[in-house]
Each structure stands twice: as C-alpha cells, then as structure tokens.
Amino acid sequence: MVINTAESYEIGPIRPPSEAYSLFIRVTRNCPWNRCKFCYTYKGSKFEVRPVSEIKRDIDTAKKYYDALKQAATKMGYGDDIGKAAMALAKPSSNESFFNVAIWLFAGGENVFIQDANSLVLSTEQLLEILQYLKSTFPFIKRITSYARSHTAARKTVEELKQLHEAGLTRLHVGLESGYDPVLEFLDKGATAADHIKGGKNVVASGISLCEYVLLGAGGKRLWLENAVATGKVLSEINPDYVRIRTLTINRQMPLHNEVINGNFVRANDEDIIREERIIVENLNCTSNFISDHTTNLLQELEGKLPDDKKKLLATIDQFLDLSPEGKTNFELGRRLGVYYSLNDMKDPVKRQAVDQYARQFTTSSPEDINNVIWGLMERFI
C-alpha cells in the first residue's frame, strides 16, 4: 500500500517531552521575546504570526493523511485500527508531516500541541478560530496544549482564557525558570515574579491546566539559596497542576555561555543543584504534581503529588546528599552516562562496576575537572 506523501505542513523545532506523540500545529514561528540567556532554540530567527488561512491549510493537510491512513487500515485488513496501518506505512525517513500524523494516530490520535514558543501572543479571536477549526476537523481530539509566557498570560483576562478553554485549549506549558527577580533579570527572562504569579493565577482560574517549568541551577553558585526560597514561594502562590523540573545545561550557542566565560555567572555543580531542589520542595505549599521527567535532571526519579508526597521527595533527595563524596561522584557520572536511572541502580554490582571503571580515570582530578566532565556529558541531551 502506497500513500502519496507529497504534501506537507509546518512543524516547529521543539515541544515538551509529554507531547512527543501529539499532532503538531504551528501557529507562530519562533519566539516573540527570544532574549533568554539560557535558550538558543530561536536565536537568529525572526518571530512571525502565521496567517489563520495558512494554519487551516496545515490542518487540512493533516486531515488528508488521516483519511488516507483510515482507508489504508481497511484495505490492509486492520479494520478500524488506524494506528497499526500508520506504523506499517510510516518510516522515520518519510515526509515529516506524514510521520507526525502516523505517530500521532499510533499513540491514539487524541492530543495536539500548538507551536511555537508562545501561542497566547495571538489575539483571542484568532486562537478561538484556530481551535474551533481544529476541533471541527478532528472531533475526537481530547487534549490541546501549547507553550505560553507568564507575561502574556498576565495580559489575557480570565474571561478570555476561559473562552479558549471552552474552545478546547486544555493545558499551557509555561517556563517559570525562577521566582527570584534578580535571577529573572540576569537571565533576561522578560518576566518578573509578579508576572509569573498573575499570569499563572489567570490560567488556573480559567480552568486550563497549568504546567510550570523550573530551571534548577538558574541562580548559579551565588544566588542558589535566595532563588530556591523565592521559587518555592512563587509556585505555592500559583498552585499549578504540574511543577516540572529541568536542570540548567549550557552550551556555546547560549548567551549564558559568555557570562560563564567572563565570570559573571558561576555554575552550580550537581550537589549544589540538589541542595537547591531540596529548598524548593521544602517551600512548596501547594497541591501540584511534582515531576522530574527530563534526562538533564540528576534525580529524574523524583515524582509525587504535593503535599502528600513531600516527605518521600525529600527522603530521596537526602538519600543522594547522604552519600559519601565518592558515592556522589559515582552517581553523577553514572546518571550522565546513562548507566543509572535511580539511586537504587547503584546497588546493581554490574552497573556499579561499569561506572567505577569510568570514574577511576578521574581519581586524581580536581572537583572542577570532574564538573567539566559532567557538564560535557549533559550537553549531549540538549
């Protein structure tokens, strides 16, 4: 069975890990702010709002692939199991748009992610028209999500956000990064703690599910404590549905790299960052889901529902902090090499031996040298 995959639609460069199997609909190109020192994704790219007519054509193209795969499922003997037909016909080398639709249908065809960095920058009327067209084209969609900025959400009224929610917008992913104004200003985030709180509360009040992202290490060695306390308090005021953890990882393409070189930013090491994470958790007084679902995180195993699981989260953090210096280094290297996932993996003698063999070459190295090795390993993940 051969499907004509000549047509395509635009797909942006990034999405949250939780949206890996979503249908991607690009409503803007790049980022309207694009000044954050820790981000390189859109640097050198012009921000553009795509015409609604173009977006509708993209949705129509996705629908053509859906219809073709639905017919293929019947002809191939899969009946209504369109997902099986999608996987049988799709290849990574396929047209990117067709592959996106196929993966989406294989995963159930229920979720859509609206790209790029801040779709709320569109007028409410434009977004409503896009959401309504999307839902009328694919009435079986259950979840529609997007990135947004706190500053933009703060400018939308709760009533506007409620309209978007009623039209199908289910969740917003917002990069909080920090709740401490000096850190936000240094990183050129373009939002204050007050913006984060107002924007976050607007989203929560509208009924849209809110996911706030925290950037561990954002305060560096100098401001980690103040940053951690303030971030925990801001998140508690917002009370988002999800608090998702990311760990600052720096490469040469980021403006922040120059700040490291000129001495304006001193990077925190893994132990510093875990102490910071502990303070953040201690200061969380909310009912959020705490999730550490990114490979840059040292303790990726941290996950729980607050406040009930706070003690469990702190106990896991303390399990790492209670390790000997050699044990901490072993785990840090093992995580960054992909040998370990959780702290309990250190109990596996085969895994432990493999990491020990790698670690021996650093026995005479300074802590700074080991940190540089770990940071180098982390760069592979961004």
Biggest CA pair distance of the chain = 65
Q: What is the pLDDT of residue 369?
A: 85
In a domain, 163, yes or no: no
Examine residue 44 and state whether it is found in any structural domain, yes or no: yes
Are 236 and 312 in a shared domain? Answer: yes
- Give the span between the Cα atoms of 150 and 156, in whole angstroms: 10
In a domain, 166, yes or no: no
Residue 65 lies in a domain: yes
- 33-51 mean pLDDT: 96
pLDDT at 249 over 70: yes
Q: What is the pTM of this model?
A: 0.94
| Final residue of a structural domain among 294, 322, 350 | 322
* 290, two tokens: 């705490």
Residue 205 has a pLDDT of 98
Both 86 and 110 in one domain: the answer is yes
Q: Which amino acid is at 156?
A: K
Query: Structural domain of residue 137, as residue ranges?
Result: 1-148
Q: How far is residue 152's CA from residue 84's CA, in Å, rounded to a whole number?
A: 40
On the question of pLDDT at 68 being above 80, the answer is yes
- The C-alpha torsion from 260 through 264 and 267 to 268, rounded to 10°, is 180
Residues 283-294 pLDDT 10s: 999 999 999 999
| Structure confidence by residue, pLDDT tens digits, 222-232 | 999 999 999 99
pLDDT value of residue 210: 98
Region of poorest pLDDT, from 84-98, 140-154, 354-368: 354-368
DSSP secondary-structure letter at 288?
P
* pLDDT the model gives residue 183: 98
Pair of tokens at residue 343: 């702290």
Are 261 and 359 in the same domain?
no
Average pLDDT over residues 22-34: 98
SS3 303: strand
Res 82: pLDDT: 94
* Range 218-246 average pLDDT: 98
Q: Is 212 in the same domain as 302?
A: yes
140 & 180 share domain: no
Per-residue confidence at 359, pLDDT binned at 50, 70, 90?
Answer: confident
Q: What is the pLDDT of residue 1?
A: 66
Cβ-based burial of 214 (10 A; exposed 0-12, middle 13-18, buried ≥19): buried
In a domain, 244, yes or no: yes
The per-residue pLDDT for range 88-103, each reduced to its tens digit, is 998 877 899 999 999 9
78 within domain boundaries: yes
Indicate if 177 and 309 belong to the same structural domain. Answer: yes
Are 284 and 239 in the same domain? yes
Please report the pLDDT score of residue 129 as a whole number: 98
Least confident of 90-99, 149-158, 227-236, 270-279: 90-99
- Is 216 in the same domain as 289? yes
**H/E segment holding residue 253:** none
pLDDT reading at 363 higher than 80: no
Q: In CATH, what number is assigned to the domain containing residue 264?
A: 3.30.750.200
Asked if 75 and 136 sit in the same domain, the reply is yes
> Domain ends where: 295, 322, 349?
322
Tell me: do 334 and 298 sit in the same domain: no
361, 293: one domain: no
Query: Does some domain include residue 160?
Result: no
Q: Are residues 26 and 138 in the same domain?
A: yes
- DSSP structure string for 37-97: TT--TTTT---EEPPHHHHHHHHHHHHHHHHHHHHHHHHTT-TT-HHHHHHHH--TTS-HH
Quick check: is 257 in a domain?
yes
Q: In this model, does residue 364 exceed pLDDT 80? A: no
Domain boundary pick from 148, 163, 184: 148
How many structural domains is the chain composed of? 3
